[in-house]
Chains A and B, each alone.
Chain A
Amino acid sequence: MTDTSAIAPGLKKQVLLEIKDLKIEGYTGETWVPIIKGVDLTLHRGEVMGLIGESGAGKSTIGAAAMGYARDGTRIVEGSSIEFDGIELTTSTEADKRALRGSRIAYVAQSAAASFNPAHKLIDQHTEAPLQYRIQKRVEAQEDAIQLYERLRLPNPEEIGFRYPHQVSGGQLQRAMTAMAMSCRPDLIIFDEPTTALDVTTQIEVLAAIRDIVDQFNTAAIYITHDLAVVAQMADTIKVLLKGEEVEEAPTEEMLKSPKEDYTKSLWAVRSFERPQKERPKNATPLISVQNVDASYTGGAKVLDDVSFDIHEGMTVAVVGESGSGKSTTARVITGLLPPSNGQVLFKGEPLPPKYTDRTKDQLRQAQMIYQMADTALNPKVRISEIIGRPAQFYSGLKGTALKSRVDELLDLIELEPSKYYDRFPPELSGGQKQRIGIARALAAEPSFIICDEVTSALDQLVAEGILKLLDRLQKELNLAYMFITHDLATVRAIADEVVVMQHGKVVEQGPKTEMFTPPHHPYTDLLLSSVPEMDPNWLTTLLEERGVDNVGESANV
């Protein structure tokens, strides 16, 4: 193991990776379509470059290409040049490229939970590359792994590697994967959205760990993300991509202060949407009232513990908390999918039967759901007209031309032209359009209350903004109440009237939005709020100083 930080400062400016005129094509619908349209990239030793853009911008494709790797169904077009430390990857043999991967260029994937092989212990996966390249013997490699786990502040570094992936939490897995990438002390690491799947509180510990270790070993990195605030913490330079083309590149500070291109500015401005906050009507019966609800899944421990809150007509209540805090379970109780073991749900003061099978059609129609993954929530083999038409037919008994005009009306409501979309299938639509169809399907039942379960978290910021504006417009026109489940506090700020904070199945704090966002907070609310990354590149540093490195994420004292 060589200490790379001993390299003289003059060497730091040495070019490590130079990509010139990179063009990549993808195979769709029996033709090759350009995905990356001529991108240049220069990365020096020890430098961290942030690649940012919406989904479909080609960030991950470029990341993989930096390893000379073209994903299945893509190919690197001739004439592109990827030169890693003097080795031209586009013309190298497969075996030569394989010899670089893992040893000199390593990869950290978006979902560590899916990218660790479920059949092997973490440490065996960690030591695979060092053993493959005969850099270390098994025992040495294991000792080194344990040291890296320690440096990444994983709990029980001696023991954690001998667990299987399913026995370790998401944030810890992501750090273990960063450790694995470090196993051969590579010159370059590609981080492909390493914190996107994590909660804000967990994200911090992973960000801090990654930044630390990249610093310690003076490793160069390409950091791919769609989250500007995150990239601001991590990168020395930022490159903005749009639809496979570079928009602009600049050092982080400069990019944040004075972006040149309009597209970059629009990315920066995207969190500007905010609607005026509404007050609860006085002495009114709440539309939905969740009262002292306990719930658990068959035979399991309590998932909800004494949860109570009200939702009034025409208002938006945001339910926030980390994954596993019981947000979605609460939604399941309200819709009757999971009967509570204790407590009840009132609709306009009348108790709803706990099981959805016991509810009348009219009770069922009142509460509709919109899901996080529009991809999986819509049947890909069913036409849009039928997806939206079915609830209209089921709840309102519409038929023939009446049904068709209702579907047209709904498509109009969600700002999709009826004649164009009526006969299409979900896979032909973009993510944002699919989510709009999901909204139309919920509206088709003519509900008074809609549960939005993380509806914007799978979408790009600009598209998410459009969905939020649409939901807001619909609320005004149709006097809808929303229960908005999210872990994204920026969304809460944008659209909520009231906020309910949940942790470990309990409501820790609730109240009007303005109160929730002004101190004093409940300590957990405070932790959530302060964990949301800000655009300031020094935010993470300051936060870590305030809290201390050992007091972030899962280990934070609340």
Chain B
Amino acid sequence: MGDIASLILKRLGLGLITLLIISIIIFFMVELLPGDIAQAVLGQGATEENLAALREQMGLNDPAILRYFQWLGGALTGDFGESVVTGERVSAVISDRFVNTLFLAAYAAVIAVPFAITLGVIVALLRNTLFDRVANVLTLTSISSPEFFLGYILILYLAVKAQMFPAIASLSGDLSLGELLNRTFLPALTLVLVVTAHMMRMTRAAIINLLASPYIEMARLKGTPPWKVIVRHALPNAWAPIINVVALNLAYLITGVVLVEVVFVYPGIGQSLVDAVSKRDFPVVQACCLIFAATFILLNLAADVGAILTNPRLRHPK
């Protein structure tokens, strides 16, 4: 097991380096955005003196590199500075919303991952049958339709016509868990529809890929029933690619949900990112981007570790 621990540490170190590089890119990309932040904050009517004073106050006259390190130092301690629009602490603005986003992502993932993998196993078992084709067509349709379109369709049928779920996922302070799940069901379902196809098709492909292996033929010649051949003999060896795709989709659930949030008026981090970009609220933009990057890196790390842990050769060295 010592090998695995050192491997994880190595990956974690690489992840941190990646994150550092990304932070540099984020900071200087925001820096490159055209226009003057002071001007944007104060509006057209501001006088030269006011602008100069604000620039001085915000430290905009310092060299970029100095400001980068100041920002990075703050970010390391969880301090992303103040919003230039509202003057609130960025961390305070973002943290609530990030929790909301995580909640929605977890809600969707808890449904989507088991559903997609089970469906993938079933279509692998019933490969080239009508069921396989129908499942393929439906999941592909859902992945190729835009999310906002799917969202509106669901609102139309499940909220407006059937009136089963609320169309707007607004959150207020003290909702019971049941109420919360009910309110956020439609956005979660939209996300489930978006991510299922990818994971299901990967599960199917990874399993079918293994069906020509000698040990699968051996299992068949031992009289193992077909479902057991798939579940017991093929699936344990197919985890590595499946886990990778699951991780990518989980990352997408956190970082790619802006449209869904807008459609359902859900107070997630994606919305605040869009708002911040349009208002040139650069500390918020930088913080959001950094959080997204960290999410991707962490989930990929988890996928790597998961793939290692499912490989008996690495779990049980000679």
Tell me if B's interface is mostly helix, strand, loop or mixed.
Answer: helix
Name the segment of B104-112, B216-224, B273-281 touching the other chain: B216-224
**Does chain A have a CB within 8 A of B161?**
no
Q: Is the CB of B237 within 8 A of A72?
A: no
Q: Tell me which residues from 83 to 135 in chain A have a Cβ below 8 Å from any Cβ of chain B.
A: 98-103, 106-107, 109-111, 114-120, 128-129, 132-133
Residues of the A chain whose Cβ atoms lie less than 8 Å from the Cβ of B5 = none
Residues of the B chain whose Cβ atoms lie less than 8 Å from the Cβ of A405 = none
Q: Tell me which residues from 167 to 222 in chain B have a Cβ below 8 Å from any Cβ of chain A.
A: 212-215, 217-222
Q: Is the CB of B224 within 8 A of A132?
A: yes
Q: Tell me which residues from 35 to 58 in chain B have a Cβ below 8 Å from any Cβ of chain A.
A: none
**Does chain A have a CB within 8 A of B2?**
no
Q: Is the CB of B214 within 8 A of A114?
A: yes
Residues of the B chain whose Cβ atoms lie less than 8 Å from the Cβ of A72 = 212
**Does chain B have a CB within 8 A of A164?**
yes
Q: Is the CB of A101 within 8 A of B312?
A: no
**Does chain A have a CB within 8 A of B34?**
no
User: How far, in Å, is B191 (CB) from chain A's closest CB?
Assistant: 31
Q: Is the CB of B215 within 8 A of A117?
A: yes
Q: Is the CB of B225 within 8 A of A117?
A: no
A99 touches which of B214, B220, B223, B313 (Cβ 8 Å): B223
In the complex, what distance in Å separates the CA atom of A100 from the CA atom of B221?
9
In the complex, what distance in Å separates the CA atom of A115 from the CA atom of B220?
11
Q: Is the CB of A114 within 8 A of B312?
A: no
Q: Report A425-438 CB contacts with B as 1/0, cut-off 8 Å.
A: 00000000000000
User: How far, in Å, is A503 (CB) from chain B's closest CB?
Assistant: 21
Q: Is the CB of A109 within 8 A of B223?
A: no
Q: Is the CB of B215 within 8 A of A164?
A: no
Residues of the A chain whose Cβ atoms lie less than 8 Å from the Cβ of B237 = 117-119
Residues of the A chain whose Cβ atoms lie less than 8 Å from the Cβ of B236 = 117, 119-120
B220 touches which of A101, A132, A164, A180 (Cβ 8 Å): A101
Residues of the A chain whose Cβ atoms lie less than 8 Å from the Cβ of B215 = 114-118
- Report if A118-B313 is in contact (Cβ < 8 Å); known contacts: A71-B217, A109-B214, A166-B318: yes
Residues of the A chain whose Cβ atoms lie less than 8 Å from the Cβ of B223 = 98-103, 129, 132-133
Q: Tell me which residues from 340 to 369 in chain A have a Cβ below 8 Å from any Cβ of chain B.
A: none
Residues of the A chain whose Cβ atoms lie less than 8 Å from the Cβ of B212 = 72
In the complex, what distance in Å separates the CA atom of A115 from the CA atom of B213?
8
Q: Tell me which residues from 262 to 318 in chain B have a Cβ below 8 Å from any Cβ of chain A.
A: 310, 312-313, 316, 318
- Report if A115-B233 is in contact (Cβ < 8 Å); known contacts: A129-B223, A167-B316: no
Q: Report A64-82 CB contacts with B as 1/0, cut-off 8 Å.
A: 1001010110000000000
Q: Is the CB of A117 within 8 A of B318?
A: no
Residues of the A chain whose Cβ atoms lie less than 8 Å from the Cβ of B312 = 118-119, 164, 166
In the complex, what distance in Å separates the CA atom of A262 from the CA atom of B222?
39
**How many A residues touch the partner, as a band?**
20 to 34
Q: Tell me which residues from 140 to 174 in chain B have a Cβ below 8 Å from any Cβ of chain A.
A: none
Residues of the B chain whose Cβ atoms lie less than 8 Å from the Cβ of A166 = 312-313, 316, 318
Q: Is the CB of B221 within 8 A of A67?
A: yes
- Report if A102-B233 is in contact (Cβ < 8 Å); known contacts: A114-B213, A115-B215: no
A69 touches which of B219, B220, B233 (Cβ 8 Å): B220
User: How far, in Å, is A83 (CB) from chain B's closest CB?
Assistant: 19
Residue of B whose beta carbon sits closest to that of A101: B223
- Report if A107-B218 is in contact (Cβ < 8 Å); known contacts: A98-B223, A99-B223: yes
In the complex, what distance in Å separates the CA atom of A117 from the CA atom of B234?
9
Residues of the A chain whose Cβ atoms lie less than 8 Å from the Cβ of B310 = 119
In the complex, what distance in Å separates the CA atom of A128 from the CA atom of B217?
14
Q: Is the CB of A167 within 8 A of B217?
A: no
- Report if A107-B221 is in contact (Cβ < 8 Å); known contacts: A115-B214, A117-B233, A118-B237: yes
In the complex, what distance in Å separates the CA atom of A119 from the CA atom of B312?
6
In the complex, what distance in Å separates the CA atom of A71 from the CA atom of B218?
11
In the complex, what distance in Å separates the CA atom of A115 from the CA atom of B218?
6
User: How far, in Å, is B195 (CB) from chain A's closest CB?
Assistant: 26
Q: Tell me which residues from 221 to 264 in chain B have a Cβ below 8 Å from any Cβ of chain A.
A: 221-225, 232-233, 236-237
Residue of B whose beta carbon sits closest to that of A63: B221
Residues of the A chain whose Cβ atoms lie less than 8 Å from the Cβ of B233 = 117, 119
Residue of A whose beta carbon sits closest to that of B312: A164
In the complex, what distance in Å separates the CA atom of A99 from the CA atom of B214?
20
User: How far, in Å, is A113 (CB) from chain B's closest CB?
Assistant: 9
User: How far, in Å, is A230 (CB) from chain B's closest CB?
Assistant: 21
In the complex, what distance in Å separates the CA atom of A106 from the CA atom of B316?
29
- Report if A102-B221 is in contact (Cβ < 8 Å); known contacts: A117-B237, A167-B316: yes
Residue of B whose beta carbon sits closest to that of A116: B215
Residues of the A chain whose Cβ atoms lie less than 8 Å from the Cβ of B213 = 114
Q: Is the CB of A101 within 8 A of B221?
A: yes
In the complex, what distance in Å separates the CA atom of A133 from the CA atom of B215?
20
User: How far, in Å, is B220 (CB) from chain A's closest CB?
Assistant: 7
Q: Is the CB of B214 within 8 A of A98?
A: no
Query: Can you give 19 contacting A-B residue pairs, CB < 8 Å?
Result: A69-B220, A98-B224, A98-B225, A100-B223, A107-B218, A109-B217, A109-B218, A114-B215, A115-B218, A116-B215, A116-B218, A117-B233, A118-B215, A119-B312, A120-B232, A129-B222, A129-B224, A132-B224, A166-B318
Interface residues, chain B, with chain A CB atoms under 8 Å away: 212-215, 217-225, 232-233, 236-237, 310, 312-313, 316, 318
Give 4 A-B pairs besides A107-B222, A119-B312 with Cβ atoms closer than 8 angstroms. A107-B218, A109-B217, A118-B312, A119-B236
